[in-house]
């Protein structure tokens, strides 16, 4: 799949970003937060993610090991992305593919991940 720049946002539009990704690796995790929020995730290094607006309109939610910053809009409550250090220690972003404009999740190959067991 070809890398493209996608526009993403929360529901109300206060949090907006762009991300460059190919959407060839999209996961659906069954851990408590992912399953409740309905996340479909793709992961990108920090240099492929750009927050366009809404930095001050987000709240950070940490749970379990407190490694992943699950950011959500304080107005509409949508979790459109999260951030953490990747396995290599470098900053990365977990982008909720459902928040990307013009992306039909039914057209993607989605890999199930057993996050409950991690």
pLDDT, one tens digit for every residue, the chain (118 residues): 789 999 999 999 999 999 999 999 899 999 999 999 999 999 999 999 999 999 999 999 988 778 899 999 999 999 999 999 988 999 999 999 999 999 999 999 999 999 888 7
Largest CA distance in the chain: 35
The fold of 4-112 is 2.170.150
Q: What is the DSSP code (8-state) at residue 34? A: H
**pLDDT reported for residue 28:** 96
Whether residue 110 contacts residue 58, with contact meaning beta carbons closer than 8 Å, is answered with no
pTM score, whole prediction: 0.92
Rounded Cα–Cα distance for residues 81 and 10 (Å):
9
Q: Are strands 41-45 and 91-96 parallel, antiparallel or unpaired?
A: antiparallel
């Amino acid at each position: 799949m070809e890398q493209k720049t996608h526009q993403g946002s929360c529901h109300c539009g206060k949090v907006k970003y762009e991300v460059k990704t190919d959407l060839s690796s999209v996961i659906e995790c069954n851990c408590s937060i992912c399953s409740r929020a309905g996340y479909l995730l793709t992961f990108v290094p920090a240099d492929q993610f750009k927050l366009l607006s809404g930095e001050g309109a987000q709240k950070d939610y940490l749970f379990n090991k407190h490694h992943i910053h699950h950011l959500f809009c304080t107005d509409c409550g949508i979790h459109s992305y999260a951030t953490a250090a990747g396995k290599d220690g470098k900053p990365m972003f977990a982008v909720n593919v459902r928040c990307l404009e013009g992306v039909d999740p039914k057209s993607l190959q989605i890999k199930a991940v057993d996050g409950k067991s991690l």
